Amino acid sequence: MSGDQNSGDTGWSESFEIVPASYDEKELNLDGFEQIDEFSSPGSSKQVPGLRLDNHSGFRFGIGCAFSGFFSGVHYFREDVGIPWWKKKKLRKKHDKLTEDPFRYDFYSRLWLTYRRYFPKLGSKFISDCGWGCMLRTAQMMMGHALISFHLGREWRWNFTITVPALESLHRGIVSLFGDTEDCVFSIHNLVSFGRKIGKEPGDWFGPTSAAYVLRDALNMASNSHDILKSIRIYVAQDMAVVPSEVERLLQNEDGSRNTVIVMIPALLGLERFNQSYVPCLKQILAMECTIGIIGGRPNHSLYFTGWQDDSLIYFDPHFCQPAVDVHTPDFPLESFHCRIPKKMPFRRIDPSMCLGFRFNSFNEFQGFKELVERVVNITDSQGRISPMFYFTEDPSSSQEVQNMRSLSLDLSDSDISGFELLPFSS
């Protein structure tokens, strides 16, 4: 089944309506990379400021939370590693409690793809991507969320204690695309292999632009051989310019069948530092029904942003090294691909280089997105000039805005902007 069958929600303006919910509010610590240790439970009548998780589909509410520790609250629910019965019972109770909280359950159901170790050798020496593969892992997470929302629907939630065989089989099929062997479509091995075409070697750090292109190339190579990927296409914008006719072309095949298109837009929102004037724009981006998140973070430290609360972004952190999982084994454990503990980072600390992700099932959806972006997702400088986050044009070569951005980017060294690259590709 596909996400467009389940959602059908194209109410763009409704995406920005703040709907507070009743939760107990706890003190929020916005400093540093801290982790949610405990969420409050429903039941209080106190109104809390709004929280956003991307592509919410009717799920927009406030939540109180406290941050502390580093993955201190992560628990896995593996049934095959000799866990004592009394501990299994305790972990089930924790899982049941998690499913009672809509936000935490939504977060937990998304794919979490992290550093892995002890996978088949990559290149001549690497058996782990620790220290250099975080951008590729966040790109994997963006792709994983797009596939989950398309095939299982935005309202799908993972419950390891109660499974629907057909849905669980599809869930496993999507996860297996991100295994750590060469025959997995979006494996670290394949992405690095495509990276060699743009001068990247195993151990090199990828930027948002290069990560978007290798993801697209991996999909193009395998889309006809995997049922899960047959109707998925990726469009990567160049120089922050989106060409509508190219998106429309990818949405429909020559035989009249339709595709879903993932639009990835590498963006540069500032020079040496993130321009905080764009904070309202990013909040609106993350509130859109079509968004699949943002690949960003800080220099050489990539994170996958999926929502926001007050002045901070909510994210998945790939910087947690876990043993590689053999996804070819029947009923391979899924728990290490899901994270119970959200983390957050102040907007002011993010790097200006990032990649925005969106998913469209039709050109009408894309047109609605385009109209909304042209109306609200931009800033105005002190001289009254409008500065959009990205542009729509049919001729990037003659667009003055794109020429200005290309000139600016070419003048910046790698030490100025980490990860923003101009690559010689067409989409």
Name residues whose C-beta falls within 8 Å of residue 162's C-beta, 6 or more positions apart in sequence. none
- From the list 151, 171, 189, 319, the catalytic residue is 319
- From the list 317, 338, 339, 355, the catalytic residue is 317
- From the list 65, 95, 106, 134, the catalytic residue is 134
Count the Cβ atoms, other than its own, within 10 Å of residue 196.
13
Q: How many alpha carbons lie under 13 Å from residue 292 in its C-beta half-sphere?
A: 28
Q: What tokens were used for 256? A: 């009249």
User: Which residues lie across from 360 on neighbouring strands?
Assistant: 261
Q: Where are the beta strands (DSSP E) in 258-377?
A: 260-268, 291-298, 301-309, 312-316, 322-323, 343-346, 353-360
Q: Which of 134, 142, 143, 139 is nearest to 203 (CA)?
A: 134
317 is catalytic: yes
319 is catalytic: yes
134 is catalytic: yes
Pairing of strands 126-128, 378-380: unpaired
Name residues whose C-beta falls within 8 Å of residue 9's C-beta, 6 or more positions apart in sequence. 57, 58, 289
Q: What angle do CA 302, 152, 143 make, to 5 degrees?
A: 25
Measured distance CA(301)–CA(206) in Å, rounded = 10
Catalytic residue positions, numbered? 134, 317, 319
